[in-house]
Structure 1
Amino acid sequence: MTEPKPRQLEPMPDGWHRALAVVAHPDDLEYGCSAAIAQWTDGGREVAYVLATRGEAGIDTLAPDMCGALREREQRASAAVVGVTTVEFLGHRDGVIEYGTALRRDIAAAIRRHRPELVITLNHRDTWGGVAWNTPDHVAVGRATLDAAGDAGNRWIFPELAEQGLEPWNGVRWVAVAGSATPTHAVAAGPGLDRAVRSLLEHRSYIEALTDEDPEQYARGFMTTSTEAAGERFGGKPAVAFELFGR
């Protein structure tokens, strides 16, 4: 008896101009979807980054005040490699982000500022495919981003934002979740793959603290493995997979 073929991934929609990526830490997007972002910016689309924290608790050998500044610099350099010039940090504490109205408000405010049609975030579920436990920060920010996409368009949720000049934005058409175990859509990595490797390498301090492997070999190996796995369900070409929620 032959095994059923896994469901093929659909191409991501292309009827949009602005995207906003909202994640918890520096490097989350580089591990998650920067090859797709490189493809989009090359095609003339605008992508901005919003990070809940500065990643200040991410390197055991560096105190948070030093680590946060370092990782913020690395994130800005990393974003520039894939054509992203707008990088904002919300100032939540790394490692102890709390899901709730304060986080939703901050993300809704960012959505109102940037007015995207597409919002991108990272896996908001408890595990990575039932194999590894996810971090509380990823879960909180991913879930809050999905909720804030609706909050941003409702005048009566967080009315203080309108008083601050941030009028409701109900133009979010999709929220795309990277790193999902149940993806539905994908973007061909193409030429963006090499830039994604270089983008991840900008987080050199973090990588060197994480592994003894040569940073370039580590970054290229991770990107190759993840994009080839997605490509098995996308015509055999390396790809970045997303779980897409329409609005």
Structure 2
Amino acid sequence: MIESNEQAPQLADMPGDWQRALAVVAHPDDLEYGCAAAIAGWTDAGKEVTYVLATRGEAGIDSLDPATCGPLREREQRASAGVVGVSTVEFLDHRDGVIEYGLGLRRDIAAAVRRHRPELVITLNHRDTWGPAVGGAWNTPDHVAVGRATLDAAGDAGNRWIFPELLERGLEPWDGVRWVAVAGSTTPTHAVDATPGLERSVHSLLAHRAYIEALTDEDPEEYVRTFLAGNNQRFAARYGGRPAVAFEVFPR
């Protein structure tokens, strides 16, 4: 039997004793749909957050060929990140829609962890579905591959004998990742109050205007506000009645 939010355990506060975070996802807009309100609050507090995207989202808009779509979505992602105080956005140039979990992906993410040396790593739901709250909708292969590879790469980054070729690139091991936090998880354990960053999260997602206009016929701002408000309200009963960005946190 699936527990309701009222019956499920209360969500703990996210750990706060860190300075650097690295967010690793598959596509432009993944973080804006998932956790931009939390990121806005963290950057307001003086924490450093860097974005790494496996693809440029070039296969995401049916009416645009990838050569046109990729640069457009990259520009939208950089603008979107800036809204919530993130200035560093990197792209790994895996192919959108056909990312493969494997050593190449793990190596690329481990390299990013070594470059940026985060204490907190953030990624998106790596499980097969989005859970009963959204009707058990099937997740995409890209999300599953990148989420799983990020969980693994957080450990790979600290072992000099895994991917020793990274040492030749001057990337020394980093064993300082203390947590990996998964946004959009079907089984969250922790949360951040979404209220302080909510308005900026709306504008951050709205920066993906070309994608949103291709996705829905609704007014973009109405669509974004409705989606984010509903998403943040989903776990309020488990977080003292406050709108929440929820994460499943894996300590390391």
Superposition TM-score, scaled by structure 2 size: 0.96
2:165 counterpart residue number: 160
User: What's the offset of the Cα at 1:5?
Assistant: 2.4
Partners of 1:205 and 1:235 lie apart in 2 by 36
1:204 counterpart residue number: 209
1:99 counterpart residue number: 101
Letter in 1 for 2:57: G
227-236 vs 54-63, greater mean Cα deviation: 227-236
Pick the aligned partner of 2:190 from 185, 192, 197.
185
2:155 counterpart residue number: 150
1:246 counterpart residue number: 251
Q: Which runs of 5+ in 2 are unaligned?
A: none
**What's the secondary structure of 1:156's corresponding residue?**
coil
User: What's the offset of the Cα at 1:202?
Assistant: 0.2
1:32 counterpart residue number: 34
**What's the secondary structure of 1:244's corresponding residue?**
strand
1:175 counterpart residue number: 180
Superposition TM-score, scaled by structure 1 size: 0.98
Partners of 1:230 and 1:204 lie apart in 2 by 27
Letter in 1 for 2:233: E
**What's the secondary structure of 1:20's corresponding residue?**
strand
1:16 counterpart residue number: 18
Letter in 2 for 1:174: W
1:66 counterpart residue number: 68
Partners of 2:47 and 2:14 lie apart in 1 by 14
**What's the secondary structure of 1:54's corresponding residue?**
coil
Determine what percentage of the aligned residue pairs are the same residue. Answer: 77
TM-superposition CA deviations, 1:147-190 (whole Å, max 9, x none): 00000000000001011100000000000000001000000012
Partners of 2:232 and 2:16 lie apart in 1 by 20
Letter in 1 for 2:167: A
**What's the secondary structure of 2:165's corresponding residue?**
helix
Letter in 2 for 1:127: T
User: What's the offset of the Cα at 1:230?
Assistant: 1.7
**What's the secondary structure of 1:144's corresponding residue?**
helix
Once superposed, what is the RMSD of the aligned Cα atoms? 0.9
Moved over 4 A (4+): none
Partners of 1:145 and 1:154 lie apart in 2 by 15
How many residue pairs get aligned? The number is: 245
Q: Which runs of 5+ in 1 are unaligned?
A: none
**What's the secondary structure of 1:121's corresponding residue?**
strand
Pick the aligned partner of 2:232 from 211, 227, 232.
227
1:126 counterpart residue number: 128
**What's the secondary structure of 1:97's corresponding residue?**
coil
User: What's the offset of the Cα at 1:60?
Assistant: 0.1
Partners of 2:246 and 2:239 lie apart in 1 by 9
Letter in 2 for 1:15: D
